[in-house]
Amino acid sequence: MRESMEEEPMTHPGHDDNDVGLAQILAEVVEEVRLSIDRDINGADLLYSLLRAPWLYSLLRVYECLVLHSRDAPRPYMPYSSRLSQEIMSSVRGLAAPSSEAQELYILLKYPHMQALLSAHDSVAQRDYGPVLPPLPDKLPDNEEPMRIVCLVKNKQPLGATIRKDEKTGNIFIARVIHGGLADRSGLLHPGDKLVEVNGQKVQGLLPEHVIQILVRSQGNIIFKVIPNSPQPINSRATLYVRAMVDYSPLQDPAIPCPDAGMAFSKGDLLEIVDQRDIRWWQARKLHSASLCCGLIPSTNQFRSKQRELWWSQPYQAHTCIRPLSPGDVGEEEVTDEIKYIETDEDFEFVSEEGENGEHMQGLYIAGFRHSLRVWRRKSYLRQKPSCYSCGVGICHNTSANLYEEVVHYQRHIDDPPRLIVLIGPSGVGVNELRRRLIKINPNTYQGPISHTTRPQNMGEKNDREYHFVPKETFAFMVVNHKFLEYGEDNGHMYGTSLDSVKDVLDNGKICVIDLEPNCINSVRTKKLKPYIIFVRPPSPESMRQTRKDPHFLANSYIKRYFHDKDFEEIEDASRAMEGKYRQFFDCVIVNDDLQDSCMDLFTAIQHAQEEPQWVPASWFVPVHP
Ligand SMILES: Nc1ncnc2c1ncn2[C@@H]1O[C@H](COP(=O)(O)OP(=O)(O)OP(=O)(O)O)[C@@H](O)[C@H]1O
């Protein structure tokens, strides 16, 4: 063994003369161990044979190759997609009886444009797009702050960062980096980084506006010299999903530090909040929006102060997130008494107190279509006081806690009770017509709740069928004990829809469909009922004129008459006011133009609500502590 050992070179056979490093060290160790054997040291034989094992040398060679490549050599080029497609095609060719899918894949991969695409991909992937930077000087002064040189290629996107000036020192700092913007995606610029130079021009002492001007004038690559800030704290909270409860326009918010970096949103918009590090200004993007770039939105913290920042962008490129509010979006629109309907003597008919077609069909009684309740609703809506929900941030600063509602994605489990379906719409739009048709077509699936009333029972009516007829005291007791989802008074009698009557329908395994006055929405938005709220919107007055030539509508407690032109305008006005105030609660909007189509839309929406995932308030899933 020793003889053979002396014949061995210092390095393993096949080892390159150029190979140094670990293999070299190992060879020296082996030599040491060999000498140990000569000195008859215990275990040296074993160690010697282990260290001379060929596999160990192969492993070391692989390791050295990898280290060498990653350090000095250019990235190895692997035309991966093209090669893979060739391999796939040759495998398919080798198949005796390729399946139709394999044949289709072969044809697709063979197309010249597909080949060109793959080849383009490979060439792009191979290229190194990093800037060529000057070598570092050999000797750096001891007191030199570490400087980062960042090269960004100017394109049509905003750079997505804001800058601010420290008034004491005159230093310019990066104030914030907007998620999804160019600066963020570069990963090289961070809030707090001190900006030293832009394209070779020193910026200390300059006004932020001047720095922006330098950026505007530069073309192609922009080279920044920055002194990096200390490591960034990680975002403490995971992504949060919210529904906007107000309209917001950064251009109209005097508190925002940089309106250009803000993001406008409207009531009901779903927002993904990706950064809450700044307690005053969060970064968010709209869900389902094509734009990757986030924008600033106010946080729910009350105390916001304005600290001036400038949007570090290409000024001739408007920030894509910004959309000024349309005039119709802003402010309060009160419904006036104008909406009251006027009777004419040539085209009206009197209706009996409760009589309406369609409530009693071939032995089937459909509850919940009592017109007294509906007339009361109309009057009640006219009396409504403005709600704080409808104010913009600028108008109602103390509502910031109501800016957003946290939402989660919810899919109803097959064993869960059906979600309550709530229809909302201006009087006369056709809410009851749609509801009636839905229940009539499929009474085994859909049902309305039976309302309570204090009015006397009429001939032919049955208690607990048309109504739950109750004494005034019982009704008052139920009111005090919050038993009603909504209640009101008409012609001296009380009417109400109780939570229990809705539960009765749900317990029967049916989908409960109710129509509700919008200011009662909060009474149904509960974990138990998990309502899906559908707003029924009128089509244009012109379209209503076409579709509502024949129908009569309920003008007041006693009169049914044809629609007049003025009615259509009033329905439209009422609809706009309702939507302006409550649209943040609407899960779906149906335009009731053609009746058949609207019925179909309603049917689809209800199916969607019961069977597909929806964004619902997160509070529905918060455990309730006793
Ligand atoms: N899409 C439509 N096309 C034609 N007529 C319609 C349509 N939708 C509803 N109508 C008719 O319009 C009239 C009013 O509808 P409906 O009674 O359902 O209104 P509503 O929204 O429930 O308001 P209210 O509670 O004040 O009666 C009814 O005669 C109804 O048949």
pLDDT digits (tens, 9 = 90+) for 482-529: 999 988 888 888 999 999 999 999 988 899 999 998 888 988 999 999
Which helix (H) or strand (E) element contains residue 453? strand 451-453
Residue 595 Cβ < 6 Å to ligand 1: yes
Alpha helices in 399-471 (DSSP H): 431-441
Residue with CA closest to ligand 1 atom 5: 548
Q: Where are the alpha helices (DSSP H) in 136-269?
A: 182-186, 208-217
- Asked whether 313 lines ligand 1 (CB < 6 A), one says no
Q: Check if 539 has its Cβ closer than 6 Å to any atom of ligand 1.
A: no
- Cα-to-centroid distance, 421 and ligand 1 (Å): 18
pLDDT bin (cut points 50, 70, 90) of residue 556 is: low
* Ligand 1 geometric centre to CA of 533 (Å): 19
- Burial environment of residue 371 by CB neighbours within 10 A (0 to 12, 13 to 18, 19 or more): buried
Please provide the average confidence, as pLDDT, over all residues in the chain.
77
- How remote is the CA of residue 329 from the centroid of ligand 1, in Å? 27
Any idea which of 11-25, 438-452, 547-561 has the lowest mean pLDDT?
11-25
Residue 552 Cα, ligand 1 centroid: separation in angstroms? 8
Nearest protein Cα to ligand 1, atom 16: 430
Report if pTM > 0.90.
no
One-letter amino acid identity for 294?
A: C
- Counting Cα atoms < 13 Å in the Cβ hemisphere of 425 gives 26
- Examine the pLDDT at 368 and tell me if it is beyond 60: no
User: For ligand 1, is residue 592 a contact (CB within 6 Å)?
Assistant: yes
> Is the CB of 193 within 6 Å of ligand 1?
no
ipTM of this predicted complex? 0.97
Q: Which of 438, 537, 548 to mutate to test the pocket of ligand 1 (most atoms within 8 A of CB)?
A: 548
Mutate to test the pocket of ligand 1, among 341, 366, 369, 432 (most ligand atoms within 8 A of CB): 432
In this structure, the number of other CB atoms found within 10 A of the CB of residue 170 comes to 12
pLDDT band for 156, please (50, 70, 90 cuts). confident
Give dist(CA 520, CA 422) in Å, integer.
11
DSSP conformation letters of 542-559: HHHHHHTSS-EEE-SSSE
The reported pLDDT for the residue numbered 56 is 73
**What is the full DSSP assignment across 459-515?**
TT--BTTTEEE--HHHHHHHHHTT-EEEEEEETTEEEEEEHHHHHHHHHTTPEEEEE
pLDDT tens-place string over residues 278-306: 888 999 999 988 777 899 999 987 555 55
pLDDT at residue 243 is higher than 60: yes
Nearest CA to ligand 1 atom 22: 432
Q: Are 251 and 217 in contact (CB under 8 A)?
A: no
Q: Which of 553, 561, 591 to mutate to test the pocket of ligand 1 (most atoms within 8 A of CB)?
A: 553
How far does residue 151's CA lie from ligand 1's centre (Å)?
64
Q: Is 438 in the pocket of ligand 1 (CB under 6 A)?
A: no
CA of 245 to the centre of ligand 1 (A): 30
Whole-number Å distance between alpha carbons of 166 and 172: 6
User: Is there an atom of ligand 1 within 6 Å of 429 CB?
Assistant: yes
Give the model's pLDDT for residue 21: 61
Displacement of CA 547 from its chain's centroid (Å):
37
C-alpha pair distances (Å), 616 with each of 356, 419, 607: 36, 12, 16
Domains and CATH numbers, the chain: 2-71 (no CATH), 148-227 (2.30.42.10), 240-328 (2.30.30.40), 359-385+401-409+417-616 (3.40.50.300)
